[in-house]
């Protein structure tokens, strides 16, 4: 891959091993200048927009995204009209509908969104969330049988079901219709169901493959809403306001780490506005339990609220998240939220012990050389609900895809994998299933879940090396930190951060701006919490900026701060304006540090 002529601030190899490059090229710079000259957009904001592919012509609409402009016709999704008509039929008949969801945030929000809409139409849907340990991911025959026994005339699976051929075939034998609303990658063989709405199925040409499951459910409800209106249902019944549930859609969208572009970005922008109004009893209770300070921002969803909803599915009652998001009683909601907060604390304690073990195993695998392209760690004692977090931590620490697997007494392992940009993990897992290496598995490019027998572990490792080794090497060669601009501590003001937020919300597919702080000095550094470092840096003109770097006290970055008081270095990171005791102040979230070469 061709490298830019010159590294940003001449940083060829930072302390984290990255080359710093300028994010914006010449073409983008021209677009930024046009935004300034013709549309009177502030220059720093124009640079951020242009560097993320926004053209001058689209800049105004990008800064004010609306669902009206970005919402596709739901009918463009394969099977959507069939699904909407079948749901409409059950509502008219007053049938009992069961919602079968997944145990993560996307599954909980998808289940709750559908159930809330059906309740508004007079249908009290039964939500079934499987137990992660005893049932695993997706529908199973026993659960399907239980739902039918309870009187379900229609089963809707959300965030799962696309590859559940046997379980959904069992539903067909029992005479119950099934609708699948999903977004995971899927092969050519599909389950025998009434409708499978999944923008990532091979015959779907809608172009909505970036949606997570709750986004697919929202589009389905738009289509269903249209069916109900055209049939005259709303002449005798109040019409639900779908916009009031966009806070739930935003939560699932952010936490499933789908690209915050187009419709997804509009979901989150509008959803955050709804969330700040505290309309959802459940989300308000969860924010209180999480000790959220200040108005809700996108990072609150990913780092405060989402992990607590996930905690129920990881180590507790998997149904707690969906129950919270469908709850209308404040006292009950606070009770559930407090329970989720407690489970999250327990999950953190478990993760700490397991992560130390996983890192030791990964270090042993890597040894003194480069090690495997894909890390595969395993233990018999690991909690199945936490292996996905382990894989994510390992991926971040070692800059390569990683799996963490927990084996049970039957020598059957349940594992999760997380990937890096440019390496499609979901595709590799599907191929491993087809070749009989895995019992089952699925996912998407950046994350996957697997089940395998212990005797196939070595074969799985070899398969990953042969199929993904080249992609991992290419990704490592292209690894660079993209810097939006250089800034000084004095320029990092609350007003500056607020200006940049107009280009947000930031996340997957819309990366938060990264700024370099050249020739700044470390004024203070101290270890805080488990493995974090808080610090402050000063600019040559005497201004000061406080900052933090997470899980880095024992890394070269942390050591450079803790031992470098008085040293001048180049710093790079993102800015946020956080609330502290009711007052907003700017903080640098450090990503990288580069030493300044001594001039002779």
Specify whether 204 is located in the same domain as 79: yes
- Of 479, 506, 529, the residue at which a domain comes to its end is 479
* Residue numbers of the chain with a pLDDT score lower than 50: 1-4
Query: What is the extent of the structural domain holding 285?
Result: 69-342
Q: What is the CATH number of the domain that holds 501?
A: 2.40.50.140
Chain center to CA of 462: 29
Q: In what order do the strands lie in the sheet with 154-158?
A: 126-128, 97-100, 154-158, 177-181, 195-197
pLDDT of residue 250: 98
Dihedral of alpha carbons 317, 318, 324, 326, sign: negative
Specify whether 402 is located in the same domain as 325: no
CA distance 259 to 510: 7
pLDDT of residue 1: 41
Specify whether 135 is located in the same domain as 238: yes
**Residue 361 forms part of a structural domain:** no
**Residue 172 forms part of a structural domain:** yes
Q: What is the CATH number of the domain that holds 193?
A: 3.90.1640.30
pLDDT of residue 3: 47
- 4 neighbors 465 (Cβ within 8 angstroms): no
pLDDT of residue 479: 87
Q: Kindly state the tokens that stand for 383.
A: 């909690």
**Cβ neighbours, 10 Å, residue 498:** 11
**Residue 363 forms part of a structural domain:** no
pLDDT of residue 274: 96
pLDDT of residue 2: 47
Specify whether 51 is located in the same domain as 140: no
Tell me if residue 436 falls in helix, strand or coil: coil
- Supply the pTM of this predicted model: 0.91
Nearest Cα neighbor of 573 from 597, 595, 546 is 546
Nearest Cα neighbor of 109 from 277, 286, 297 is 286
**Residue 350 forms part of a structural domain:** no
Nearest Cα neighbor of 274 from 236, 243, 303 is 243
Specify whether 111 is located in the same domain as 226: yes
**Residue 360 forms part of a structural domain:** no
Specify whether 173 is located in the same domain as 285: yes
19-41: burial string, b at 16+ Cβ within 10 Å, e else: bbbbbbeeebeebbebbbeeeeb
**Residue 131 forms part of a structural domain:** yes
Specify whether 241 is located in the same domain as 162: yes
Q: What is the pLDDT of residues 25-55, one digit of tens each?
A: 999 999 999 999 999 999 999 999 999 999 9
């Amino acid at each position: 891959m061709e490298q830019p002529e010159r590294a940003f601030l001449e940083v060829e190899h930072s302390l984290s091993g990255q080359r710093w490059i300028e994010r914006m090229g010449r073409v983008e710079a021209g677009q930024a200048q046009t935004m300034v000259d013709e549309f009177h957009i502030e220059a720093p904001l124009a640079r951020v927009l242009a560097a993320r592919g926004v053209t001058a012509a689209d800049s105004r609409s990008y800064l004010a995204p609306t669902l009206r402009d970005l919402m596709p016709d739901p009918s463009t999704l394969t099977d959507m009209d069939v699904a909407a008509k079948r749901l409409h039929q059950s509502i008219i008949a007053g049938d009992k509908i069961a919602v079968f969801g997944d145990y993560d945030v996307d599954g909980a929000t998808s289940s709750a969104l559908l159930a809330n809409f059906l309740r508004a139409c007079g249908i009290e849907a039964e939500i079934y969330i499987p137990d992660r340990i005893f049932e695993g991911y997706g529908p199973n025959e026993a659960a399907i049988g239980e739902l039918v026994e309870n009187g379900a005339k229609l089963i809707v699976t959300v965030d799962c079901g696309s590859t559940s051929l046997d379980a959904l075939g069992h539903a067909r034998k029992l005479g119950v219709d099934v609708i699948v609303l999903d977004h995971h990658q899927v092969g050519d063989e599909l389950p025998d169901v009434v409708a499978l709405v999944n923008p990532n199925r091979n015959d779907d040409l809608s172009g909505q493959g970036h949606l997570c499951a709750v986004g697919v459910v929202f589009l389905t409800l738009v289509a269903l809403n249209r069916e109900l209106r055209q049939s005259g249902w709303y002449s005798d019944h109040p019409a639900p306001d779908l916009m009031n549930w966009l806070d739930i859609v935003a939560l699932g969208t952010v936490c499933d780490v789908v690209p915050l572009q187009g419709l997804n970005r509009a979901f989150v922008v509008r959803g955050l506005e709804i969330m700040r109004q505290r309309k959802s009893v459940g989300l308000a209770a969860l924010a209180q339990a999480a000790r959220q300070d200040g108005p809700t921002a996108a990072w609150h969803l990913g780092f405060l609220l989402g992990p607590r909803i996930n905690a129920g599915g990881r180590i507790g009652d998997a149904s707690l998240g969906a129950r919270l998001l469908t709850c209308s009683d404040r006292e009950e909601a606070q009770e559930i939220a407090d329970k989720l907060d407690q489970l999250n604390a327990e999950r953190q304690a478990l993760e700490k012990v397991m992560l130390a073990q996983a890192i030791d195993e990964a270090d042993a695998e890597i040894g003194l050389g480069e090690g495997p392209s894909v890390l595969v760690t395993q233990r018999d004692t690991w909690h199945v609900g936490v292996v996905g977090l382990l894989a994510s931590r390992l991926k971040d620490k070692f800059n390569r895809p990683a799996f963490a697997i927990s084996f049970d007494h039957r020598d059957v392992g349940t594992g999760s994998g997380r990937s890096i940009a440019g390496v499609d993990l979901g595709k590799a897992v599907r191929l491993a299933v087809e070749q009989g290496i895995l019992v089952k598995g699925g996912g998407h490019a950046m994350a996957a879940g697997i089940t395998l027998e212990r005797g196939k572990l070595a074969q799985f490792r070899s398969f990953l090396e042969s199929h993904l080794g080249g992609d991992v090497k290419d990704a490592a060669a292209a690894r660079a930190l993209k810097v939006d601009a250089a800034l000084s501590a004095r320029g990092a003001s609350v007003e500056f951060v607020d200006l940049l937020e107009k280009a947000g919300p930031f996340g997957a597919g819309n990366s938060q701006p990264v700024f370099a702080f050249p020739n700044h000095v470390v004024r203070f550094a101290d270890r805080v919490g488990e493995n974090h470092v808080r610090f402050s840096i000063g600019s040559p003109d005497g201004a000061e900026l406080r900052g933090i770097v997470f899980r880095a006290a024992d890394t070269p970055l942390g050591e450079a701060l803790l031992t470098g008081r008085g040293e001048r270095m180049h710093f790079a990171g993102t800015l946020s304006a956080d609330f502290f005791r009711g007052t907003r102040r700017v903080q640098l979230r450090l990503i990288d540090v580069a030493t300044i070469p001594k001039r002779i």
